[in-house]
Structure formats: C-alpha cells, structure tokens
Amino acid sequence: MVLLTMMAAVVVGIVRLRNLFAVVILSSIYSFLMASVLIVLDAVDVAMTEAAVGAGVSTVLMLAALYLTKTEEAAPRHSPILPMFVAVVIGAALVYGSMDMPPFGAADSPLNTNEGIGYLERSIPETGVPNVVSAVLASYRGYDTLGETVVVFTAGIGVLLLLRRNRRGKAKE
C-alpha cells in the first residue's frame, strides 16, 4: 500500500512537471517502485526485468533521446478534458473488470487449479529445472520465447534502419 501510494505520487509528479529530464528520472523511480511491488508479489523474475529494463536501460535511452531534443515540454495545444474523460472511463472499466478476479493467491482460482499446478508438478521430473519460471519460459513455452526474441530482433533492426538512414541522408547534404 505504501509502495502504491508512492507510485501514485510519482505519477502526479510526472504529469505536472514540464522539465523532461526530471520526468525521465521520475519514471525511472516509478520503475523501481514497480519492481518492489513485484517482489512483494513474489514475482522475482519479473521484478528483475523491470528493474533492469524499466529503470536501467530505458532511462539511459530516454536520456540519449533527450540529448537530441529540447528538455522542456511544450505547453499542450488542446484542452485536456477529452483525453482525461477517456482515461477515466477506461480506468473505471478496468477496475470494474478486476472486481470479479479471485483474491490474490486463492487456491481455487483457475490459475492454481488447471494449467499452473500441472507445470509445478511436471517441471522437476521432466526438465530437472528447479526454477519453474525458467522451465515454462524456455521449455514448455519455447515457441512464445522464440517469438519474444524475434520481436526484440525486429525492434532492434527497425530502430537501426530508421536512425541509420537519417545519418546517411545528413552526410549527403
């Protein structure tokens, strides 16, 4: 609860600040808080990813992008009422949807009765890997992880193509 309150405070700060440097640092703090929340929820693998990617590398990339642009955000051109209305409606719908979720860690939830428990029982004898997350990621869901890797590959190639063409165009001029 303390963590969630701090996250809300950080978000308010991000929305209100116009200095992009401070915004980047605040979003890094937000990621660290998110990682702490995930640790509280016992999802250590996800927390590690969040801390490394969200707080570490993406902050550095944002700062690198910031170096190429201005550090002050321009004043908004349109009134913020319509976007705020959309955000509030979607947020309310999400909260309404989460009402029906089983309580966290409930033994009779679909997650803990069908597939999940099967993985927990099968992973040690079949793969000999004590970390079930790794076993599911790499072995049972190998296709999905392959897809993820290809997504990272595609994203990297896409960014490289975009940034490189510009550089070459500049050199010609």
Partner 1 sequence: MRLDVVLRVVTKLLLPFIIVFGFYVQFHGELGPGGGFQAGVIIGACVILYAIMFGLENAMRVLSVTAVEKMISLGVLLYLGTGFAGMVMGGEFLNYSVLEHDPVHGQHLGITLIELGVLITVAGTMIAIFYAFAGRGR
> Considering beta carbons, is residue 109 or 141 the nearer one to partner 1?
141
Looking at 81, 94, 163, 171, which residue binds partner 1 (CB under 8 A)?
163
Instruction: State the Cα–Cα distance between residues 33 and 27, nearest whole angstrom.
Output: 10
How many secondary structure helices (H) and strands (E) does the chain include? Answer: 9, 0
Beta bridge partner(s), residue 131: none
Name residue 83's amino acid. Answer: P
Task: Work out whether the CA dihedral 117, 141, 110, 44 comes out positive or negative.
Answer: positive
Q: Which stretch binds partner 1 (CB under 8 A): 8-16, 22-30, 46-54, 107-115?
A: 46-54
By CB under 8 A, the residues from 97 to 136 that bind partner 1 are 126-131, 133-135
Neighbours of 8 (CB within 10 A): 11
Q: Which residues bind partner 1 (CB under 8 A)?
A: 44-45, 47-49, 52-53, 56-57, 60-61, 64-65, 67-68, 126-131, 133-135, 137-139, 142-143, 145-146, 148-150, 152-153, 155-157, 159-160, 163-164, 166-167
